Structures are given as C-alpha cells and as structure tokens.
Amino acid sequence: MSRSAHPAGPRHADVLPEGHYTAPADDLNALDPKVWAHTVGRDTDGVVTVGGIAVTQLAEDYGTPAYILDEADFRDRARAWRTAFGTDADVFYAGKAFLSRAVVRWLDEEGLNLDVCSGGELATALSAGMPAERIAFHGNNKSPEEIERAVRAGVGRIVLDSFQEIVRVAHTAESLGKRQRVQIRVTVGVEAHTHEFIATAHEDQKFGIPLADGQAAEAVRRALQLDGLDVIGIHSHIGSQIFDMSGFEVAAHRVVGLLKDVRDEHGVELAEIDLGGGLGIAYTSDDDPREPHEIAKALSEIVTRECEGARLRTPRISVEPGRAIVGPTAFTLYEVGTVKPLEGLRTYVSVDGGMSDNIRTALYDAEYSVALASRTSDAEPMLVRVVGKHCESGDIVVKDAFLPGDLAPGDLIAVPATGAYCRSMASNYNHAMRPPVVAVRDGAARVIVRRETEEDLLRLDVG
C-alpha cells in the first residue's frame, strides 16, 4: 500500500500529526467504485444513493446507525464467483462473514453453496431452505449436539479439524446408520501476509491438523478405516484479507503432496480439495483486489499443474469466499453527533455507533474509508478520526481519513466495505443495540435483520 506520512494537498491543520494515512482524494465528494457497492452514487442534490434510494431517506425510515446492503451487488458478486468457477468447481459462501435468511435465499437462487461453522449458522441456513447437501460444516470444536444435528440433517460435508473429531463424527454417523462425507482440514505451514489473528495456516495455532510431521497423513489413515466416514478430500484455509496468490500456490502444492501420499499408501485418489476463502477486498483506494475470474483461473492452473506433476487425476476444487462476496456490498450509515478539533492533531468525529457495530478497527487495526453522505461540500479537507460513542478510547471506526472541514453534527457519513465481519461480529457493549441490516434493490428497501431494541436486551436479563 502506498502511504504517505505527509500527504500533499490542502490541509486543515498547519502541522499534520505523525501517522500513516492516504493523502486526501482530489475530490472528497467522489465515491471510488473500488470501495463502494455497485449501485452507489450521488443524486443531483449531492446525496449518496444506493439502489436508487437516498441515504437521507434511509436514515429517516430506518434510523442510524444502519448497515445498508446493496442486494443487486451481492447477487452480482455471488454470480461472478459462481460463473468464474464454472461447473467443475464449487463455491461455498462463508456464512461467518454475514448470514441472514435473506442472504441464504439469495445464495440458493444464485446457485452457491454455504459454509457454516456453528449450530446457529446451520439453523439459519436450514430454516431459510438451503438444501442440506449444499452445506459444509466447519469448526475446531464442534459440540456433540452440533455434530449430531449436522449428520441428521444430511449436510454435504463435515470438515474434520482434529483426531478427536474424526472419531466423534464417525461414531455419530454410525449410530445414526449413516455414512458422513468428510474433508480433513490440514495446516500447510504457510505464513499468509495478513494480520496475525486472521492467518490460519502456520502451524502454531488452533485450526487443522499439521501436514509437516505426518499428522495429516495419520488422520487420513484413521479416517479411511472408519465405516461412518466417507473421506472425500482435504481442506486448507490459509487466512483472510489476502491479496498475494503465492500462499495459495504453496498450500495447493502441499495439499496435492498429501493426495499423492494417500494414493501411494492406500491406492485411493481423494476426489476433492478445498482451498478455503481469504481473498482480500478494497477497504481504501490503495487496495487492489483480484477479480473472481482471475482467482479461479490461477487456482485451477495451480492445482492442475501440481496434479500433473504428481500423476494424479485433478480433484474437484472448492473455495469458500466470505468477505469477497459480501464485504463490498454494504456500508454503515452513521449520524455525526459531535465534531471536536484538537489543534495540531486531528478532528475527532463522534458517530452514533462505534466498536459495537465495527470491531475490526480496534481488533485488527483495519483501515476504512469514509465519506460525507447527506450532501457534498467544497470545504477544505480536514484530517479526522471517526470514533464511536463507547466508553473506551480505542473505540475507533476510521483511524485516519479526510472529510470536508465544514462537517457538522447532524450530517450523515458512510463507511464503505462493512458488509463482512461487522454485523456478524457486532456486540452489545455498553448495552448498545445492534443496528439493522437494510437491503436495497431497484428503488425498494427492506429490513432483513431488524434493529435490536431495549426489549431485546431486557428479555435476556432474567435475574
């Protein structure tokens, strides 16, 4: 990323503080299509619109803060992944990024499969009618109840994450008179270039079974012996918000190495490999994500080449994008409450949400962009930090960005690319009520997840 500590262009303060921020865009009113959902624009009054509806209208109808999701964009991106991977591969949307019943129905209609990682996600998927055979069930510590529910429902695959789980799933399937299709999740020892907390393929961590010391081969050996299991393949997920394809290349190389060892030892060619999710999106104009068709082409070439080298039949590939589908499709709409200039430092802009609706900045040092949404302005750019209303100084939504210098309480601002891991990681900290998700399409808006109320909070409090 190209960052400048001393950005060029007009300045609000004479001395800009130390920091790493992008220079203000030439036109602060412009909305970079890289970070905004497809149908976002401005109307003739300068108000940001999505799906043909002005954000001022959305704020009036649904309140703020609110996640505003562009349904057409979600469907476009889901379809682009589906089309890019064609009929020889499967796309499983990772529900942890954001899941609701409407989303499940859109995925079903667009022909995608679904990856779930908890009983709650499984229940959501099944209740919205996703066929069980199109569901993959994940997790490093699935409870006996979750396993039983998944096997009974007939999920298409359970991804086994430990030696204990191999036995648990086999036992559950056998006792139900079933044979469960499973993949074995391995850690391939790749250092993905992303935040430590979202990297998942290096060996010193909780997910998967290491390839390195023969443990993964031993896991396959044991699983193949169990009647309750139908071992269909190997799974690898190297991390999240990754731009560099080389990690996937190493992962594919090592997974294919295991397939070869399995063939040599057992005479069995496992039919599938899942390369997980993790493809990055643009949070700021500095990020340059790849298109699904480029990713599909790269992954399929890598796997084909590796398999030819190992004289293996090319297995069916599957992938599990979450963020890359839903991330860019939503923005969070906030109302500005206070504007506090700190001379020589920056201006703190407090909004009516915060770390309870977007924990990613505090947790991963994530970068976001922001725009004045309820009007345009030709005022000088000022360096701002967008903060929430929580009792914590780390309650930051956008660490460093530029907004027009005439920003005032009552203005609406929007933070793009909050579709993934914002609502799904939202909390009730300070008894905040989690914002609604409003889906907009073709001039119509509807709530797909409603705003929490004080009643919701008090209903849980039974003491």
168 or 323: whose CB is closer to ligand LLP?
Answer: 323
Bridge-partner residues for 286, per DSSP?
none
42 or 360: whose CB is closer to ligand LLP?
Answer: 360
Residue 422 annotated as catalytic: no
Q: How far is the CB of 96 from ligand LLP (least distance, A)?
A: 6
Integer Cα distance of 312 and 300 in angstroms? 14
Structure tokens at 289: 């994500």
Q: How far is the CB of 462 from ligand LLP (least distance, A)?
A: 30
Angle made by CA atoms 408, 413, 419, in degrees to the nearest 5: 165
DSSP assignment letter at 190 = -
320 or 335: whose CB is closer to ligand LLP?
Answer: 320
278 or 381: whose CB is closer to ligand LLP?
Answer: 278
Q: How far is the CB of 198 from ligand LLP (least distance, A)?
A: 5
| CA neighbours closer than 13 Å in the CB half-sphere of residue 11 | 14
Integer Cα distance of 104 and 110 in angstroms? 10
Q: How far is the CB of 397 from ligand LLP (least distance, A)?
A: 14
Backbone φ and ψ for 285, nearest 5 degrees, come out as -65, -15
Q: How far is the CB of 279 from ligand LLP (least distance, A)?
A: 6
Q: How far is the CB of 194 from ligand LLP (least distance, A)?
A: 8
Helices (H), 4-129: 55-62, 71-85, 101-110, 119-127
135 or 382: whose CB is closer to ligand LLP?
Answer: 135
Bridge-partner residues for 350, per DSSP?
338, 387
102 or 186: whose CB is closer to ligand LLP?
Answer: 186
118 or 377: whose CB is closer to ligand LLP?
Answer: 118
330 or 383: whose CB is closer to ligand LLP?
Answer: 330
Backbone φ and ψ for 245, nearest 5 degrees, come out as -75, -10
- CB of 13 within 8 A of CB of 7? no
Omega cis (within 30) before 33: no
| Token pair 């008894």: residue | 431
Query: Annotated catalytic residue: which of 117, 307, 391, 422?
Result: 391
Helix (H) or strand (E) holding 136: strand 135-137
Angle, helix 215-224 to helix 163-175, in steps of 10 degrees: 10
- Strands 209-210 and 229-235 come out as unpaired
DSSP assignment letter at 25 = P
Q: How far is the CB of 319 from ligand LLP (least distance, A)?
A: 8
- Rg of the chain over CA atoms, in angstroms? 23
- CB of 95 within 8 A of CB of 126? no
Q: How far is the CB of 301 from ligand LLP (least distance, A)?
A: 20
- CB of 288 within 8 A of CB of 296? no
Interface residues with ligand LLP (CB under 6 A) are 94, 96-97, 115, 138, 198, 237, 240-241, 276-279, 320-324, 360, 364, 420-421, 425
Query: In a 3-state reduction of DSSP, which class is residue 28?
Result: coil
Query: In a 3-state reduction of DSSP, which class is residue 371?
Result: strand
CA 155 to chain centre: 22
Residues involved in catalysis: 391
